[in-house]
Structure 1
Amino acid sequence: MRYVPCAVIDSTLREGEQFARASFSPAQKIQIARALDAFGVEYIEVTSPCASPQSFEDCRAIVGLGLRAKILTHTRCHMDDVQRALAAGVDGINLVLGTSSFLREFSHGKSIDAVIQAATEVITFLQQFPVEVRFSCEDSMRTSIDDLLRVYRAVDALGVDRVGIADTVGAGTPRQIYDLVSRVRAEVQCGIEFHGHNDTGCAVANAFAAWEAGATHIDTTVLGIGERNGIAPLSDWVARLHATAPRLTAHYHLPGLVGLDRLVAEMIGLEIPFTGCVTSFCAFTHKAGIHTKAVINHPQTYEILAPEAFGLTREILTGHRLTGWNAVAARGEALGVHLCPDEARSVARFIKAISDRGPLNQDQVDQCILTMVPRADAHPVSAVVAESEVAYVHSVS
Structure 2
Amino acid sequence: MTTYGRDQVNGTAEGKVNNPYMPRYEDLLSRVNNFSIIESTLREGEQFANAFFDTAKKIEIAKALDDFGVEYIELTSPAASEQSRQDCTAICQLGLKAKILTHIRCHIDDARIAVETGVDGVDVVIGTSSYLREFSHGKDMNYITEKATEVINFVKSKGIEVRFSSEDSFRSDLVDLLSIYRTVDKLGVNRVGIADTVGCANPRQVYELVRTLRGVVSCDIECHFHNDTGCAIANAYAALEAGATHIDTSVLGIGERNGITPLGGFCARMYTADKNYIKNKYKLHMLRDLENLVADAVSVQVPFNNYITGYCAFTHKAGIHAKAILNNPSTYEILKPEDFGMTRYVSIGHRLTGWNAVKNRVEQLGLSLTDDQVKKVTAKIKELADIRPQSMEDVDNLLRDYHYAVTSGDQSQVANVLSTAIAN
TM-score by length of 2: 0.89
Q: 1:375, CA displacement in angstroms?
A: 4.5
- Which of the residues 59, 65, 69 maps onto 1:40? 69
**Are residue 177 (structure 1) and residue 222 (structure 2) matched?**
no
- Cα separation, 1, equivalents of 2:98 and 2:288: 20
Letter of the aligned partner of 1:263 in structure 2? L
Percent of pairs identical after alignment? Answer: 54
Q: 1:124, CA displacement in angstroms?
A: 1.3
- Which of the residues 347, 361, 365 maps onto 1:317? 347
> What is the match of residue 296 of structure 2?
266
CA contact (8 A) 2:178 2:216 kept: yes
Q: 1:379, CA displacement in angstroms?
A: 6.8
> What is the match of residue 361 of structure 2?
331
Superposed CA deviations along residues 234-261 of structure 1, whole A, max 9, x for unmatched, are 0110111112101321121111100000
> What is the match of residue 322 of structure 2?
292
Superposed CA deviations along residues 272-294 of structure 1, whole A, max 9, x for unmatched, are 01221111111111111110000
- Cα separation, 2, equivalents of 1:79 and 1:192: 23
**Are residue 389 (structure 1) and residue 418 (structure 2) matched?**
no
- Cα separation, 2, equivalents of 1:212 and 1:163: 17
- Cα separation, 2, equivalents of 1:82 and 1:164: 17
- Cα separation, 2, equivalents of 1:212 and 1:275: 26
CA contact (8 A) 1:63 1:90 kept: yes
Letter of the aligned partner of 1:290 in structure 2? I
> What is the match of residue 59 of structure 2?
30
Q: 1:389, CA displacement in angstroms?
A: 2.1
> What is the match of residue 363 of structure 1?
393
**Are residue 134 (structure 1) and residue 166 (structure 2) matched?**
no
**Are residue 154 (structure 1) and residue 193 (structure 2) matched?**
no
> SS where residue 215 of structure 2 aligns?
helix
- Cα separation, 1, equivalents of 2:372 and 2:313: 31
CA contact (8 A) 2:39 2:74 kept: yes
Report how many aligned residue pairs link the two structures.
389
Instruction: Give unmatched runs, 5+ long, in structure 2.
Output: 1-25
> SS where residue 372 of structure 2 aligns?
helix
**Are residue 78 (structure 1) and residue 107 (structure 2) matched?**
yes
CA 1:15–1:345 in structure 2 vs 1: closer, same or farther (change >3 Å)? same
CA contact (8 A) 1:173 1:206 kept: yes
Deviates more, 1:141-150 or 1:245-254: 245-254
Superposed CA deviations along residues 85-125 of structure 1, whole A, max 9, x for unmatched, are 01111000000000000000001111112111111111112
> SS where residue 178 of structure 1 aligns?
helix
> What is the match of residue 110 of structure 1?
139
Q: 1:339, CA displacement in angstroms?
A: 2.9
Superposed CA deviations along residues 190-235 of structure 1, whole A, max 9, x for unmatched, are 0000100000011111111111111100000001000001001101
**Are residue 254 (structure 1) and residue 284 (structure 2) matched?**
yes
> What is the match of residue 9 of structure 1?
38
CA contact (8 A) 1:19 1:228 kept: yes
- Cα separation, 2, equivalents of 1:163 and 1:357: 60
CA contact (8 A) 2:33 2:273 kept: no
Q: 1:370, CA displacement in angstroms?
A: 1.3
- Which of the residues 368, 372, 389 maps onto 1:342? 372
- Please report the RMSD computed on the Cα atoms of aligned residues, expressed in angstroms: 1.5
- Cα separation, 2, equivalents of 1:338 and 1:161: 65
CA contact (8 A) 1:50 1:84 kept: yes
TM-score by length of 1: 0.95
Q: 1:390, CA displacement in angstroms?
A: 2.4
CA contact (8 A) 2:78 2:85 kept: yes
Letter of the aligned partner of 2:92 in structure 1? V
**Are residue 121 (structure 1) and residue 150 (structure 2) matched?**
yes
CA contact (8 A) 1:239 1:278 kept: yes
CA contact (8 A) 1:347 1:381 kept: no
Letter of the aligned partner of 2:98 in structure 1? A
